[in-house]
Structure 1
């Protein structure tokens, strides 16, 4: 972060990172459900410290390779397990109620093939499984984008799913960039009671 703490909040990922840093327990257990270039994985690896753990998922080897290099460059490569698999499979790697924080950054790999992107069906399945994997008192961060071939469908499907979550079990906070045009991204937080 720069001296002016609000300067970078125009980017959804910076906003979500600030929230994760302020809310996540240190040395906890975390999942980066959409590894991409590894920035969320790096943040979580730093929070994990020596005692915590990070599981990071992506279906593209390119994403795994970039993340591996980023973690190594920052001296935290031993804090994360990088998994070449879809985020909807996370329950194969993490037990129920075992994670403190799960973060999603939906869409496609920045600078990558736009034909390879998250999709409504698998994204909702991943969020459902993530909610089971979250500890009580844990939270989930979602960066939801619109646009592209499947972005609007994914956004609407995710929002419809989130609206139906039991308020007795979850608190869902939807934020928005209110003065932006052209379908700005939506940051969402889900807290498990």
Structure 2
């Protein structure tokens, strides 16, 4: 019987499928040239000759999260915590992502909290989990759930809370054109879902630090 968690199984299957179907760099650059021609410009002119290569490199950076496993990031924990069992909150973790509908930027901040159950994880690891999921094609609702579910499955804390505030360029720079608006999503698990006082304590911390 497999000892993998549901999150680990999904990550394994997703990575295997992605690797089997992944195009090579030449195909990506050819696709960019096609887009340039479709937009009405000439990919052979001086200013655009190196654009396909630059776009491919940029996309490698934008979507590096597909090559990273968030469960591995959380594996190293610390148990010498002298019984600490209060809320741990990492506030305003800035991220950049891209929406899966238009591939337009999503820029925002995440608040991540958990109440430990005998062990804690290095705080940078929480930020890295946010980053892994952000560096994929996303919708904010799914990203919020993925972060919370992964922390919950790996650390098995008393509870997990994730709140994300972000601006979506697919509606601020195109379409309905509503700059200045942001989307707020949250995911509460364990004691954050069951205990209104704990939930409110977390929500009181979800303002940008000075």
Q: Same fold (TM over 0.5)?
A: no
TM (normalized to structure 1)? 0.30
Which of 1 and 2 has greater Rg?
2
Looking at secondary structure, tell me which structure has more helix per residue. 2
